[in-house]
Amino acid sequence: MRCRIGSIAASVVVLVVAAGCGDAKNAEPAEEAAKCDKGGLGTALDIPGPGKPLPEEAVEAYLDAFVVVSVQEDGENATVIAEAPGSDAVRLYDLTRREDGWWPDGYTEC
């Protein structure tokens, strides 16, 4: 009997205990980011290229029901903040700029 073993590239999921997410509905983007830093569900993304010209374009495929509300660039790094309409849920996407554009490294949801 012959067996064939294959591999599948998949996203790596990292779980972090949710704590202190609070009410993000009326918060400013910096306040939302601080709340997610206290805890939330983290997901690492391992995606095929190429990168995208803008950070918000790079996370577009991973937004689901979330809507981008803020983009903060700092040199080679960026944070895209997205909210779920009608909910207190917030996602913080971490991105890195490489030679071919912006790449999402992962996101934290709280």
Q: Per-residue pLDDT tens for 45-63? A: 777 778 999 999 999 999 9
With left for phi above 0 and alpha for psi between -120 and 50, is residue 88 left, alpha or beta?
A: alpha
Answer yes or no: is pLDDT of 64 > 50: yes
Torsion sign over Cα 82, 62, 53, 10: positive
Q: Per-residue pLDDT tens for 3-40? A: 333 333 333 333 233 333 343 334 455 565 655 665 66
